[in-house]
Amino acid sequence: MKILSVNAGSSSLKFSLFDMETEDVIASGLFERIGIEGSAYTIKYNGEKHKGEALMKDHTMAVNLLLDKLHELHIVESLDEIGGVGHRIVNGKDLFDRSVVVDDEVMEKLESIIELAPLHNGANVAGIKAFQKVLPNVPMIVVFDTAFHQSMNPESYMYAVPYEWYTKYGVRKYGAHGTSHRFIAETVENIYNRKDLKIISCHIGSGASICAIKDGKCVDTSMGFTPLAGVMMGTRSGDVDPSIVPFVMKKEGIDVDEMLNALNKKSGLLGLSEVSSDMRDIESEVEKGNEKAKLAFGKFSRRIVDYIAQYYVLLGGADVIVFTAGIGENGPLTREDVCNRLECLGVKIDPEANNKRGSLFKISTEKSKIDVYVIATDEELMIARDTYNLIK
């Protein structure tokens, strides 16, 4: 069976087409600038990139174009080969603790919670509707970034604010990157051939979150009501004193939207370094002796270590620490700095192993009290697996 794994953005549509017998990616691609002048697409297939420009006024036009190209490039000979479409949903509130088949009731619930992630959930729903129009007889599955975190207890997910904010407005921690953290948990369980493990999963990219996992379930995670909370990120501040918000708004004469924009898009590595949100640029400036870059690099590691240490105590120890996502998978200097700061917990890494590249490798030494791995995450595959299993 062939499964499409889809991630719809406000003006984009990413996809991967899987052969579920082998779990190999047949083709993948990106349709961008949907609804904007200059819309274009890129499709990777058989080691080649197929690029082009085409009018895409909305997601339905993008989906039609995608399916036309799959047929035109002989990626599929018939659309009947597509057995299901799995859609990523950023925030499922506390309404969904697992992936589900889309029906009218599910769509109604999805539309009721768009406000919790307006830039993402609205686009995700638009993507589902577009595929439903074009492939009306193909099962649609929704996979939630927040579902894995629904195993947290109230002590972890509640905020110390008026309780009625939760009952009236759903103000609580929801987390993010749950599909990635679940992939890491299952991969580690397969490595050790057991489920009774204490894992600290570090999804570190332009967006970053840390997750405490015990016996295959999330105990706590660093992102909160929105993906702005937690560790410092590429352009996001992570946790800050909330009193800073009204203080700076008054000083700068800015409104709420401008403040949120500053915390989401002008903070983090970019804000502290005043150089870039890209860790590669930060590391380059550190080598040149740039003090602000050094501060940003050090603060980034420090915040990750803060959460790892917190979750080490919460879990009562840790069997495995995993680095994943863009920086986690490709940033040996960040991994080294984080692990060196964890030496008091008995973490010891092999510098030579840490400089390797690959989808799964161990960087800790035999003397390390905690095993440390680098594992390439695969959220698209998890979406495809859930879709395939629910259809079966």
CA distances to 185, 200, 320 from 324, rounded to whole Å, are 12, 11, 13
End-to-end CA distance of the chain: 10
- Residue 145 bears catalytic tag: yes
Both tokens of 162, joined, read 């008026």
CA distances to 74, 133, 159, 167 from 163, rounded to whole Å, are 56, 42, 8, 7
Both tokens of 312, joined, read 């080490």
Query: Residue 36 is inside which H or E element, if any?
Result: none
* Sign of torsion over alpha carbons 298, 300, 303, 305: negative
Cβ neighbourhood burial of 273 (10 Å; 0-12, 13-18, 19+): buried
Catalytic residue (one of 103, 145, 278, 319): 145
d(CA 269, CA 281): 10
Q: Which residues are catalytic?
A: 145
